Amino acid sequence: MKTILIIVPAYQEELNILRVIEDIQTHLPEADILVVNDGSIDQTSLLARNAGVKVIDHPYNMGIGAAVQTGFKYASERNYSGALQIDGDYQHPALEGPRLLQILAEEKADLVIGSRFIEQTGYQGSWLRRTGNRLFQWVNALAVGQNIVDNTSGFRAYSHRAIRLLSQTYLGEFPEPESISYLKSQGCKIIEVPVRMRNRPGGKSSITPLRSVYYMVRVLTSIISFNQQSRR
Amino acid sequence: MNFLALKISTFFLSVFLLVWIFSLIRRRLLMEEYSFLWVCIAGVFLVLSFFHPIMDKVAHSLGIEYGPSALFLFFNVVTLFILIHVSIQLSDYKSKKRILAQEIALLQDKVEELSRKMNVHESADL
């Protein structure tokens, strides 16, 4: 049994999934790959299966939160010692994966976040997204007591303990900012590391300008109202 | 003001509500546990249709001049609570549905893995 599981949540990513898998196989040849197909009706699942990686298909679209949680449940059942989340949209460069995992092990951290904003790494993002991030940063810093610059990055490494906790706790439809406050409330160690991300080459992002306002309100509501308690 | 017309219409409205709810329960379209609030509301309607002075008294004690306004307020508040209750139920079902769907997805994977292993054994036997 390999000890690291790469969790790839994917929804309608037929344009990207193959290069994501190839990218991971090139830079992280030791790890197992799990694609969680979140109810895509395109070729995402088929392409990934044909590429020879493990695929779990959700029967219908449940959102990124449920997709990563399915990944954590899988990893927890099979006792992986760590996991790395790489989104199916080819934004996260697998090249940076080994460094996140190395820091996870060396620093005995529970969560290592690949951050776009911690230093100048070339990533820009929309004005709205940056403003939203600043807002999360501020609220999470208040709620959590640790300043996290990039709360919405899904490029992350998780320890065995974080996997176990997150397999039992559903973090809503926007798991990235919420998992920070949740894991912190459980006494987990969180480290942020600068990474260089790509801009999306194909497919469309789930976050449009109008949606991001809606997204911000919802995430803030859940961060404020739910910090400590665990949900299934 | 024609109170008789009001009495009659409220009476028929509440009787209609009660009959409808009971028939929904009988036809298994509404579970008994969710009908309780609606039966209560129909009951309140029924009582008020006979004793509308109660409504006026309650209204005056709340500082509301016009009895039926108090009734509107009352039903608006009740509706609000019912809606919140329904939202809670909906959230509960949604999260249970998510857990079931995830279990199905994980089990399906195990089934695929097992049948793959069985196929390997079968072809080895041949």
Q: Tens of pLDDT along B7-17?
A: 788 888 888 98
Q: Is B113 contained in some domain?
A: no
The CATH number of residue A180's host domain is: 3.90.550.10
The answer for residues whose C-beta is within 8 angstroms of residue A154's C-beta and 6 or more apart is A9, A64, A68, A85, A87, A92, A176
The answer for residues whose C-beta is within 8 angstroms of residue B17's C-beta and 6 or more apart is B38, B41, B42, B45
Quote the pLDDT of residue A46. 96
Q: Is the pLDDT of residue B73 over 60?
A: yes
Give the residue from A128, A104, A106 showing the smallest Cα distance to A114.
A104
Read off the tokens for A26.
């090139």
Total domains in the fold of chain B: 1
What strands, in cross-sheet order, belong to the sheet with A54-57? Answer: A54-57, A32-37, A4-10, A82-85, A156-159, A111-115, A190-194
Q: Is A51 contained in some domain?
A: yes
Strand A190-194 relative to strand A4-10, pairing = unpaired
Quote the pLDDT of residue B66. 83
Q: Is A230 contained in some domain?
A: no
Categorize the per-residue pLDDT at B96 as very low, low, confident or very high, splitting at 50, 70 and 90. very high
- Which of B101, B108, B109 has its CB closest to that of A62? B101
Q: Which residues of A touch B112 (CB under 8 A)?
A: none
Q: Is A232 contained in some domain?
A: no
Q: Is B126 contained in some domain?
A: no
In a structure prediction context, what are the per-residue pLDDT tens digits for chain A, which is 232 residues long? 469 999 999 999 999 999 999 999 999 999 999 999 999 999 999 999 999 999 999 999 999 999 999 999 999 999 999 999 999 999 899 999 999 999 999 999 999 999 986 555 455 566 777 777 777 778 777 777 788 888 889 999 999 999 999 999 888 877 888 888 889 889 999 999 999 888 765 555 556 677 777 877 887 777 776 554 444 4
Burial class of residue B74 (count of CB atoms within 10 Å of its CB; 0-12, 13-18, 19+):
middle
Range of the domain at B27: 3-94
- By C-alpha distance, the chain A residue nearest B107 is A56
One-letter amino acid of B17:
L
Task: Provide the strand spans (E) within chain A.
Answer: 4-10, 32-37, 54-57, 82-85, 111-115, 156-159, 190-194
Q: Do B109 and A74 touch (CB under 8 A)?
A: yes
Quote the pLDDT of residue A48. 96
Greater model confidence, B57 or A164: A164
Q: Is B108 contained in some domain?
A: no
Q: Is B65 contained in some domain?
A: yes
- By C-alpha distance, the chain A residue nearest B108 is A56
Cα gap B27→A52, rounded to integer Å: 51
Q: Which residues of A touch B108 (CB under 8 A)?
A: 56-57
Q: Is A114 contained in some domain?
A: yes
Averaged confidence pLDDT in chain B: 85
Q: Do A58 and B102 touch (CB under 8 A)?
A: yes
Quote the pLDDT of residue A229. 47
Q: Is B109 contained in some domain?
A: no
Q: Is the pLDDT of residue B41 over 70?
A: yes
Q: Do A56 and B98 touch (CB under 8 A)?
A: no
Give the residue from A182, A130, A191 showing the smallest Cα distance to A156.
A191
Quote the pLDDT of residue B112. 93
Cα gap A73→B109, rounded to integer Å: 13
Quote the pLDDT of residue A139. 77
Total domains in the fold of chain A: 1
Q: Is B39 contained in some domain?
A: yes
Q: Is B102 contained in some domain?
A: no
- By C-alpha distance, the chain A residue nearest B110 is A56
Categorize the per-residue pLDDT at B25 as very low, low, confident or very high, splitting at 50, 70 and 90. confident
Quote the pLDDT of residue A200. 60
Q: Quick check: ipTM above 0.95?
A: no
Q: Do A56 and B104 touch (CB under 8 A)?
A: no
Cα gap A156→A195, rounded to integer Å: 11
Cα gap A16→A2, rounded to integer Å: 25
CB of A202 closer than 8 Å to CB of A90: yes
Q: Which residues of B touch A59 (CB under 8 A)?
A: 101, 104-105
Mean pLDDT of all residues in B53-63? 83
Range of the domain at A148: 4-225
CA distance to partner chain A, nearest, from residue B106 (Å): 7
Cα gap A140→A192, rounded to integer Å: 14
Cα gap A98→A105, rounded to integer Å: 11
Q: Is B117 contained in some domain?
A: no
